[in-house]
Every structure is written in structure tokens, then in C-alpha cells.
């Protein structure tokens, strides 16, 4: 562990005007608070805060951030308090320490809904002061460097959290070196065999080809001298995780990988960046489609560079990044460059972005998203995305994540443009809306009055903003239809138990269920997010149920071994009264299929997995889900009458999906809960007898196999 004098010396290397006394006092205070505490490795706990502070000195951070690193665990893990830290070191540092403490307490790897809420809190903390997340990232980096002392299950959890959240966040902030190290450290825990294999192949490759990095660096140096360009050339092999990810994405082996080496050319001026690019392209052939100009079109986190991939020695592809010293500082520090010091003054790097503006641009599109899952999806899309730059017909630049489509482009301009989009042209040529955009393309959006977003658009767009806007529009459009359907379903359910549905009753049930009001409850029933049965049970919990001597659902099948569990196959949905057979699955129990199910052909030769079963004799409860394929007339009242018929047959509708809508007929898949095959036949006969039902079939879906 470095002592306080060494830590101050590290800060003074880039900030001679540092408040050395304040840093030393913070060092002594932290050491005193953590006295007697040990890490999993057995080292004194205070070695960790000191190491985090040292990592931040490498980024040339200000005094407040260095002191926050020294104290970042005091409020959480010691007798220290916010008031005491504020009294000793001031309000700014106390707020930063408190912010890091709150971030530490977020369980980011918990369930999806809670994870989404924690992401909101994380972005909120970042928006107040970006230095909080810089300390947290450095804290995570040191923990990953020393992760071997943790329990195995804890290592896996922390590594997964690092790979999913902290590494992409560091990359989004422009701290690419930290992203790569975090990914590699997590990769070492999550897939050590793959990492070791790649390292072994690198060693073999180096033995066969010699020091390729030194050879290519020398070649580039020679070309720069020939062009009269003053340049520093740096080369490196890409990290094992980066290589493994590319192998997985492209489904190729290590021997077929080309650009496993990267080179940086650092020059004094922007003009020399383009001169250096010309020199590289004169000497080596450029790989088509692999040139990116992030100088004229910088990334939102301030990153600027020219990227090109060329065929170098022996036809090997190498990536070359060309930038100035100032661009290189921002490329290394990212958003953190805003706080970096040099010679006692805040470094005035013209390419460093204002963190407040950066975080505002990152979070503005999430603020209105009410759906937790949609919010989390949007955050991850934004964090993982690279960018492409496209143009409007007027020549304005629009930044889009890689994989974006013309629909994303339309929504990025304005929600109204996206909602009314009917087509798009790329470079003057009409293209499908699912076309993936590429750098430099000109995009023209065609709109029409009356056009509304389609449900299929959700699968076309790639940005969180577009997905949120489409979902919002679909919800509004469907609300009236869902409310109408929900009213019919609820009315039938109330009549089924001899009660009358009233607005007062619906509002009372909504309050108990935590729903805004009765109208919202009806919309949820109509969209199958809430069952009418749940509303009845909420209002009348003591109402006797017509169960009689019903067979327990868990013992509905005869022929299983003790302890064996079973499930009904989703492809054929067998019900009591039908001939059935069981297929055993390792770890999944037994899957029940109808004897005539087409899916059984796949396991025809595996007789050892077949289990002879039959249904228990007796009265079964109406809980067996069956899908019906209906085509009905598109007239007012028809759907309500269908719902009434289902209720009259003592069945419950669990889901309803429209699969085709024409001016005269609707086709829909209706999921109903039934007792047995006789109940199914009775219901189908009642529906078929209705004059507005054109056809009714039992829906079979072989895609829904186990």
C-alpha cells in the first residue's frame, strides 16, 4: 500500500497546486475509520480506498475526487457519518462520498424490474455529479483486479455485473482502456478456458511470425517520415475478450481472424491526421467499408479519431487510429477529461465534453418512459451501441446507433414524423423500413396523414426512443378497444357469480389491486394483463367456488413415478379425456402430449423417454388452457357476444390476440380455460352455431415445443 506522501506525490505530478494537507488529512481519517477491518485477502481494508485513489490519479483527477476515493466506504462501512465528513472536508466531498455510498447500495444485478429502477437511480446520481460514477468505476476496477480472494459464486456474480453494466458504461463514457480491462478481468472469471486458449494461440502465432507489432510499427514510422509527418506510433494486440467476442459474432476460428492488432498514430495537428491517413492509404490497401471519420463527426462523449483498416504485411488486416495529442487525451479519459489537471490548472482540452450536457443527452429520452422493462431495454441499447452518421435531405447530420433503421431516423427527428412514416429513401432510392443504415447515407422520410404505428415496427427499430414512442402510440390506439373488450369480459364474470358489475365495484377492486381506477382495470382485462376472475376474487374473497369433488391439478395424470412432475405441451395442449403420452426431459420432468401430436415424430426412435400415461378419472377443474382459431364478422357487438357465449359455457378467456384484420372479418386466437375434452366440444359447438362465426378450429402451434 502506498503511503500518504507517495499519494500526494502522484497528484503533484500533474497538479502542483494540489491541497496536499487536505489529501493527507483524508488519508489519515480513512485509515483511522477502517482500522481493524480486513479484505477477503487478509490485507488491511484501507489498501482498497488507497488503490482506488491511485487509479484516479492516473486519470489526473481533481482533489475532491481523490479524497472521495479515500473516503468512499467510510459512511457505509464505519462509524463515520455524512455530517462528520461534511464538517471535516466540506459539503462537496460529503455529497460525493454520499453519492458513491448510494451507488454501492444499488443491487444492479437483481430482478429486471428492480434493475430498471436502479438504473434510473444510477443515471440520476450521474446527472448530479459525474465524478460519483468515476469513483465507482475505479472502485469496481480495483475489486476486479483483486477478485480472486472472493468466494467463487461471488466472483461469478461480480464478473457478470461488470460485463453487463460497468464495462459498457465505461465505454459509453469514452474510457475505452477501462472498458477493455474490466471486460478482460470479467472474462477471466466467466470463461477462463476460452481466455487461456486465445492467449496460447497468440503465443504460438508470435513464435511463428515474430514480433508483428514491432514490424508494423516500424513500417508505419517509415511512411510517416517519408511524408514529413511528425508522429508517435503505438501498437498493441487486442484484448482476449475482444477477440473472443469477434469470433463468436462472426462464427469463425482464431486462424481466420484478421485484424487482431491495433495501431495508433498520434500527430500534432488535425491537418496532419488527414495527411497521415493519406500516407497509410498510399502504402497499404484500405479495406472497403472500414473507414470512419470521428474527427468531422465526433461521438457524443467527445471522442475524435480517424479509423481505417488496411491490408498490411502478408495480407494481414490491421486497424489504424489517427488522432492528435488532445484527441488522444479525451480518447483515454473520455468524459473524465473535463476534470483533468495539468500544472495546477484545469486542463482546457477543446474536445472534452461538458458532463452535464452529455448526461442530459443520454438520459432525456428515458425520462418519459413509464415501462420499467422498456426503460432498461433503452438504457442497454444506448450503452452498448456504436454510432453511424446519416444526413437529412438538407445536409444536417443525425447520429444513430449501429443497426438503426429509417424508422429510427424518423423518430429521432420527431415523434410525429415517426408515427406517420410510410416509407423511406436512402440516397434517393426507395428502401424497406427495416434496412440498416450505414455511415454517410442521406435519408429521406415519407409521411402520410392518418398513418399510425404498426405493432411489427417494434421488431424493426433499434433505438429506445423509437421503441418507447411506438409502444406509447399502440397503447393509446388499443386502449379504447381493450376497454370495450374488458367491459364485456368483466360483465360476464360478474353475472357468472350472480353479481352486477358497477363502476363503484370496479373502482373498489382497482384500489385493492393497486390500479389507478376501474377504467384502467377494464383496459388491463381487455389486454389480458389482468383476468376478470382476479377482480371477482378481490371483491368477493369469501364467495364459495364451484369446485365440488374436483381432482387436484397436481394429481391429474396417472402413471408418473413418485416425485416426477409434468407439464402440458404447448404445441398440442392436451386436455382430460384425450389419449396422452409423456416424454421425459432431463431436468424438466415429463411433458404431456396428445397421442396424435406431430411433435412426437422427433422422438419416435427414443423409446426410453416415452412414458405411458392417462388422465385421472373424475371431474377436473376448468384450468386447462386451449387455443381456438376463430374467424368472426367485423360487426358491432360480435366480439362481446362471443365473450358472453364463452362465459355461459362456464369457461374463462385467458388471452385474446388478433392475427388478421380485414374490413369484413377478423381472425383471432382465443385462449380459453376448460375442464376436459367434452367441455371443449360443447364450447366449440356453441360458438360454431353463432351466425357471425365463419370458422372455428383448435389452434396447434408446433413452434411452441419444449
| Selected catalytic residue, list 3, 28, 35, 77 | 77
Question: Residue 422: which of 208, 484, 430, 252 has the closest Cα?
Answer: 430
Q: What value does the CA radius of gyration of the chain take, rounded to a whole number of Å?
A: 32
| Rounded Cα distance, 320 and 337, in Å | 23
Segment holding 120, helix H or strand E: helix 112-128
Can you count the helices (H) and strands (E) in the chain? 28, 23
| Rounded Cα distance, 576 and 681, in Å | 12
425 burial (CB, 10 Å; 0-12 / 13-18 / 19+) is middle
Beta partners for residue 568, in sequence order? 592
| Rounded Cα distance, 343 and 117, in Å | 42
> Which parts of 203-358 are beta strand (E)?
232-237, 261-267, 285-286, 292-293, 306-311, 317-324, 341-342, 345-346
| Rounded Cα distance, 100 and 119, in Å | 14
DSSP 8-class letter at 694 = E
| Residue recorded with cell 362481446 | 640
Biggest CA–CA distance in the chain, Å, is 95
Distance (Å) of CA 100 to CA 71, 131, 139, 263, 376: 10, 9, 10, 36, 21
332 burial (CB, 10 Å; 0-12 / 13-18 / 19+) is middle
| Rounded Cα distance, 612 and 560, in Å | 8
> Which parts of 561-701 are beta strand (E)?
566-568, 580-585, 589-594, 610-612, 614-615, 624-633, 652-661, 665-674, 693-698
Is 76 labeled as catalytic in the residue annotation?
Answer: yes
Cell digits of residue 13: 505530478
Cβ contact 254:247 at 8 Å: yes
Cβ contact 196:406 at 8 Å: no
| Rounded Cα distance, 365 and 358, in Å | 13
First to last CA, the chain: 55
Segment holding 209, helix H or strand E: helix 192-209
Segment holding 390, helix H or strand E: strand 387-391
Segment holding 182, helix H or strand E: helix 176-190
* C-alpha triplet 177, 182, 185: angle, nearest 5°: 125
Please report the DSSP string for 530-550 in residue order: S-HHHHHHHH-TTPPP--TTP
Is 77 labeled as catalytic in the residue annotation?
Answer: yes
Cβ contact 191:248 at 8 Å: no
Cell digits of residue 659: 392475427
Cβ contact 298:96 at 8 Å: no
Looking only at the bridges linking them, the beta strands covering 317-324 and 306-311 are antiparallel
Cell digits of residue 355: 458532463
| Selected catalytic residue, list 76, 84, 92, 332 | 76
The number of residues making up the chain comes to 706
Looking only at the bridges linking them, the beta strands covering 566-568 and 589-594 are parallel
Cβ contact 356:348 at 8 Å: no
| Residue recorded with cell 484545469 | 346
Q: Is 695 helix (H, G, I), strand (E, B) or coil?
A: strand
Q: Is 266 helix (H, G, I), strand (E, B) or coil?
A: strand
| Rounded Cα distance, 673 and 576, in Å | 12
Active site residues: 76-77
Amino acid at each position: 500500500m502506498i503511503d500518504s506522501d507517495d499519494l500526494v506525490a502522484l497528484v503533484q505530478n500533474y497538479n502542483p497546486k494540489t491541497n496536499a494537507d487536505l489529501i493527507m488529512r483524508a488519508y489519515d481519517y480513512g485509515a483511522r475509520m477502517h482500522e481493524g477491518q480486513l479484505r477477503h485477502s487478509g490485507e488491511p481494508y484501507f489498501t482498497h480506498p488507497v488503490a482506488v485513489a491511485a487509479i484516479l490519479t492516473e486519470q489526473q483527477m481533481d482533489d475532491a475526487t481523490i479524497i472521495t476515493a479515500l473516503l468512499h466506504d467510510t459512511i457505509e462501512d464505519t462509524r463515520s457519518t455524512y455530517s462528520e465528513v461534511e464538517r471535516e472536508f466540506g459539503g462537496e466531498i460529503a455529497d460525493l462520498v454520499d453519492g458513491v455510498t448510494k451507488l454501492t447500495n444499488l443491487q444492479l444485478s437483481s430482478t429486471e424490474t428492480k434493475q430498471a429502477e436502479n438504473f434510473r437511480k444510477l443515471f440520476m446520481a450521474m446527472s448530479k455529479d459525474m465524478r460519483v460514477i468515476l469513483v465507482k468505476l475505479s472502485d469496481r476496477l480495483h475489486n476486479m483486479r483483486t477478485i480472486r480472494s472472493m468466494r467463487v459464486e461471488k466472483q461469478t456474480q461480480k464478473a457478470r455485473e461488470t460485463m453487463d453494466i460497468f464495462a459498457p458504461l465505461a465505454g459509453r463514457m469514452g474510457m475505452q482502456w477501462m472498458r477493455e480491462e474490466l471486460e478482460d478481468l470479467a472474462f477471466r472469471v466467466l470463461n477462463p478456458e476460452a481466455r487461456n486458449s486465445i492467449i496460447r494461440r497468440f503465443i504460438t502465432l508470435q513464435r511463428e511470425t515474430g514480433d508483428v507489432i514491432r514490424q508494423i510499427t516500424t513500417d508505419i514510422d517509415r511512411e510517416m517520415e517519408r511524408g514529413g509527418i511528425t508522429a508517435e506510433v503505438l501498437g498493441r494486440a487486442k484484448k482476449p475478450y475482444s477477440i473472443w467476442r469477434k469470433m463468436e459474432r462472426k462464427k469463425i476460428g482464431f486462424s481466420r481472424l484478421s485484424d487482431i492488432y491495433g495501431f495508433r498514430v498520434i500527430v500534432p495537428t488535425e491537418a496532419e491526421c488527414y495527411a497521415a491517413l493519406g500516407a497509410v492509404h498510399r502504402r497499404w490497401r484500405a479495406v472497403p467499408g472500414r473507414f470512419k471519420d470521428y474527427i468531422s463527426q465526433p461521438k457524443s462523449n467527445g471522442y475524435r479519431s480517424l479509423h481505417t483498416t488496411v491490408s498490411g504485411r502478408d495480407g494481414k488486416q490491421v486497424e489504424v487510429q489517427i488522432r492528435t495529442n488532445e484527441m488522444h487525451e479525451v480518447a483515454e479519459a473520455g468524459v473524465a477529461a473535463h476534470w483533468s489537471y495539468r500544472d495546477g490548472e484545469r486542463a482546457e482540452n477543446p474536445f472534452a465534453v461538458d458532463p452535464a450536457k452529455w448526461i442530459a443527452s443520454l438520459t432525456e429520452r428515458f425520462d418519459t418512459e413509464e415501462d420499467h422493462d422498456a426503460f432498461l431495454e433503452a438504457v442497454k441499447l444506448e450503452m452498448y451501441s456504436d454510432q453511424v452518421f446519416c444526413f437529412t435531405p438538407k445536409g444536417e447530420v443525425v447520429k444513430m446507433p449501429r443497426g438503426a433503421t429509417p424508422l429510427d431516423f424518423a423518430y429521432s427527428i420527431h415523434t410525429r414524423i415517426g408515427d406517420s412514416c410510410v416509407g423511406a429513401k436512402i440516397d434517393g432510392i426507395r428502401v424497406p423500413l427495416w434496412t440498416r443504415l450505414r455511415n454517410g447515407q442521406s435519408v429521406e422520410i415519407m409521411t402520410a396523414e392518418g398513418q399510425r404505428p404498426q405493432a411489427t415496427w417494434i421488431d424493426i427499430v433499434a433505438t429506445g426512443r423509437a421503441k418507447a414512442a411506438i409502444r406509447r402510440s399502440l397503447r393509446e390506439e388499443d386502449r379504447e378497444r381493450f376497454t370495450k373488450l374488458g367491459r364485456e369480459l368483466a360483465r360476464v364474470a360478474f353475472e357468472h357469480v350472480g353479481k352486477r358489475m358497477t363502476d363503484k365495484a370496479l373502482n373498489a377492486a382497482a384500489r385493492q389491486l393497486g390500479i389507478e381506477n376501474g377504467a384502467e382495470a377494464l383496459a388491463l382485462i381487455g389486454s389480458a394483463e389482468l383476468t376478470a376472475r382476479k377482480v371477482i376474487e378481490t371483491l368477493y374473497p369469501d364467495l364459495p367456488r364451484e369446485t365440488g369433488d374436483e381432482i387436484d391439478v397436481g394429481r391429474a395424470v396417472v402413471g408418473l413415478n413418485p416425485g416426477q412432475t409434468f407439464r402440458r405441451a404447448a404445441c398440442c395442449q392436451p386436455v382430460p379425456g384425450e389419449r396422452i403420452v409423456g416424454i421425459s426431459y432431463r431436468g424438466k420432468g415429463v411433458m404431456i402430449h396428445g397421442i396424435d401430436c406431430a411433435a412426437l415424430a422427433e422422438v419416435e426412435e427414443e423409446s426410453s423417454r416415452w412414458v405411458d400415461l392417462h388422465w385421472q378419472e373424475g371431474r377436473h377443474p376448468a384450468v386447462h388452457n386451449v387455443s381456438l382459431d376463430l374467424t368472426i364478422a367485423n360487426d358491432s357487438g360480435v366480439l362481446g357476444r362471443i365473450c358472453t357465449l364463452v362465459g355461459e359455457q362456464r369457461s374463462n378467456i385467458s388471452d385474446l390476440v388478433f392475427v388478421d384484420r380485414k374490413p369484413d372479418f377478423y381472425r383471432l386466437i382465443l385462449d380459453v380455460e376448460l375442464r376436459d375434452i367434452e367441455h371443449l366440444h360443447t364450447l366449440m359447438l356453441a360458438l360454431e352455431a353463432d351466425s357471425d362465426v365463419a370458422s372455428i378450429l383448435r389452434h396447434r402451434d408446433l413452434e411452441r415445443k419444449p
